[in-house]
Amino acid sequence: MPTERQAGICMHITSLPGPYGIGEIGAHAREFIDRMREMKLAVWQFLPTGPTAYGDSPYQPLSTFAGNEMLIDIGDLVERGFLTKDEAAELTTLPESHVDYGALIPIKNRLLTRAAERFKDTADDDLKAVYKRFLEEHDKKWLHDYAVFRILKTKHGERPWPEWQPEYVHRDEDALRELESAAALQLEYIKIIQCIFYHQWNALREYARQNGIRLFGDMPICIALDSADAWANREILQIDDDGHPGHVAGVPPDYFSENGQLWGNPLYAWENHEKSGYRWWIDRLRASANLADLVRIDHFRGFEAYWSVPADSDTARIGAWEPGPGDAIFDAMRDALGELPIVAEDLGVITPEVEALRDRHQIPGMHVLQFDVADDDVDLSDIEDNSVCYTGTHDNDTTIGWFRGSPDDIRTPKEIRAAQDAALKVTGGKAETIHIDMIRTAFATDSRIAIAPLQDYLGLGSEARINTPGTSRNNWRWRVLDTQLTAKLCDNVAAMVEASGRAPVS
């Protein structure tokens, strides 16, 4: 955490503008950092960056260590000669206002494989040395398993690994050796593509560092059952030899859903993590810290106790709280890594025990104004400095959408009116400027970092919401247009940041 008060923005990489159908980690990401400097914002928070699968959710990645290939900068590959402009032009036919994953993924995968072929044949000595070091650092730890997993997933029609042929489900050594021999070239292409992702990401992180921008990442507490991690390390999970869980993760009914949220992720076999000294978690946090300066751990309360739901349940209503690892996991990570660069997502059903766990390890928590302003017991002047304050998160509607209410809002009209009255009372603002008033209110708190989603800075409504929890359609698609990132916007945001005393110190 910074020692001084700072302001930031929450926007996932996929939402960046650009010509190739999805936000990428190259030129447009650097240009966004330039805009952030003009806005005097110092923290860029984004969502998990792993490769996505069904539903395109960054919170259900195919690997906790691999990078999302869809985020690779196509323009950089053209500049390096690994793709031609004519080849890349196919992506420019995709919409710029949202991500059409169904159209994007097959085109970009084909282009990335072509780029990997040319990388293998024509990369200069410097890039070949980068690739060699990348293999030395990652191949035995996770990269080879990930590449094999992707080959097998394609071989089985993208079905989850518990539905594969038995010899692959059970990782039969002879079957895997035969596959690795037959698919050696494809495996190498997958590894090259991962190297390209990390090479581009390292360049982005260095650019952010040079420009005084702190990158703020996100780590889901759970991993997907259909992931390379689960397939290669099933001893870390509560699953049987065939990959089937008896219970799965979720949360009980809350603000977002009257039936709770049934995530379906496998639960951790915490006793096995303890026996290993939490080695897998140490590696996971180290990898996340290599991508970002701060890491939000999603659903922090699961470390104190987690909601266990029978695997055959249709909702998360029926379940039980089970004890998590508690202090032991944070002690182990701190012993291995030093000061922990993490922020706790401590929203939802939070008990004194969860708060005590967070505070014992001096981990910053979160405050979300969309929740707090409607809570009669909350005094915003009591918000502690060791925290991050948001107008809303990626799971919330935009501030304007929340204030007005939307067609899929689970609140009653009476509850919406009560929230409106509370927001106007707390902010002292007007309905017409509620998004700005909420941002100013967040900036006025003592929280070390105050963040608003880009949609709130732009004053957008529910049409710009990026995710609706408990649903699987039309999420993670929103993108900003270049024309929306105007000089006037930058000046207005900079004025708010300066007025709040959160401008970076020269």
- Through-space distance between the first and last CA atoms of the chain, rounded to whole angstroms: 18
Residue with tokens 């040079």: 210
Check if 345 is active-site.
yes
Identified catalytic residue from 145, 304, 395, 437: 395
Identified catalytic residue from 293, 345, 346, 456: 345
Residues 74-92 as b/e (b if ≥16 CB within 10 A, e otherwise) read: bbbbbebebbeeebbeebe
Residues 446-458 as b/e (b if ≥16 CB within 10 A, e otherwise) read: ebbbbbbbbbbbb
Check if 240 is active-site.
no
Tell me how far apart the alpha carbons of residues 293 and 280 are, in angstroms, rounded to a whole number. 20
Residue with tokens 């196919």: 90
Check if 298 is active-site.
yes
CB 191 within 8 A of CB 112: no
Q: What is the DSSP letter of 239?
A: B
CB 372 within 8 A of CB 442: no
Tell me how far apart the alpha carbons of residues 238 and 217 are, in angstroms, rounded to a whole number. 27
Query: What is the token pair recorded at 492?
Result: 């207005």
Tell me how far apart the alpha carbons of residues 295 and 221 are, in angstroms, rounded to a whole number. 11
Query: What is the token pair recorded at 187?
Result: 């495996």
Nearest to 111 by CA among 180, 29, 34, 193: 193
Helix (H) or strand (E) holding 426: helix 413-427
Identified catalytic residue from 69, 76, 293, 298: 298
Query: Backbone phi, then psi, for 379, in 5-degree steps?
Result: -115, 110
Nearest to 67 by CA among 231, 187, 193: 193
Tell me how far apart the alpha carbons of residues 134 and 331 are, in angstroms, rounded to a whole number. 29
Catalytic residues: 298, 345, 395
